[in-house]
Amino acid sequence: MFGFLNVYKPKGMTSHDVVSVLRRITKIKQIGHTGTLDPFAEGVLPVCIGKATRLIEYLNDDKAYIGTVQLGISTTTYDIEGEAVNKSNKKVSQDDIEASLKYFIGEIEQVPPIYSAIKVNGKKLYEYARAGENIEIKSRKVNISELKILNFDYNKQQLELYISCSKGTYIRSVANDLGEKLGVYGHLNKLVRVKAGYFNIENAVQLDNLNNLEDVKNNLLSPIEYLDYPRYKLSNEELKKVSNGMPFSSDAKLNNGIIILTQEDNIAGIGEVNNKKIKILKVFV
């Protein structure tokens, strides 16, 4: 079996839990997901099955989320699962929020939450946090391409945001930092990933609907439709070379860089073009 699944990860499960369920259903060990979602979060989780796991590095990794931010309280984890740290009774207006959001758009420096799986000196940050150890957390550059208000309840001081961003952006940090910017504190109350690369929430299959191997096969997606690279249709002779991992030259007009090598609309391999010579990086035939 070879392909992608666009799974809707339910709240309360880890991304690894989803993979474990699919391994049990399919009896296939070679299964991996393309981006961790916190247990309290839900939404789009692209899963690669079989040799498709070797394509993870070539997938578009931009993300989009709908997050609910509760203003007035900050927590240890920057989300609803943490303990309250700071509180404020001050109320802000939607205009106040709009004015502050502009500081979070574009390439920004973001400090990840201490309760995260990022490793420092070989140890995950949340392990330092649970042990009560202090550790310097360095900021990282992330890119937020779109950030807009979907709903705002003034009385509850609760804000629903749409966020389109690069891989590695912590929405929990956005919630916490926005609260700091407004001077009222804040934490993430709910998070739904609505997009991961070309995988959208509208087409995601509920995990409860994947009960057997046939269900998985019926929802399997062709990898070729989710890779944003030029395609090159192989001749029979070229296909033989690709199957043996041998480079070949082509007179076709090809730009240097990664290319998808196809045979009858299926992926035969991944190549890299350099001055009309194609080096084989991955073989799938």
Active site residues: 38
Q: Which residues contact 48 (CB under 8 A, 6 or more apart)?
A: 3, 4, 5, 31, 32, 33, 34, 55, 56
Spatial distance between the Cα atoms of 43 and 237, rounded to a whole number of angstroms: 44
Q: Which residues contact 17 (CB under 8 A, 6 or more apart)?
A: none
CB neighbourhood size of 78 (10 A):
26
| 3-class DSSP assignment, residue 193 | strand
Residue in 266, 257, 261 with CA at minimum distance from that of residue 246: 261
User: Given the structure tokens 């409860």, which residue do they identify?
Assistant: 208
Spatial distance between the Cα atoms of 205 and 107, rounded to a whole number of angstroms: 33
Is residue 244 classed exposed, middle or buried when 0-12, 13-18 and 19+ CB atoms within 10 A define those classes?
A: exposed
Helices (H), the chain: 15-26, 94-101, 125-130, 171-182, 213-218, 236-243
The CA R_g of the chain, rounded to the nearest whole Å, is 22
How big is the chain, counted in residues?
285
**CA dist list (Å): 71 to 11, 43, 153, 251:** 22, 23, 10, 60
- Give the tokens for residue 15: 């991304």
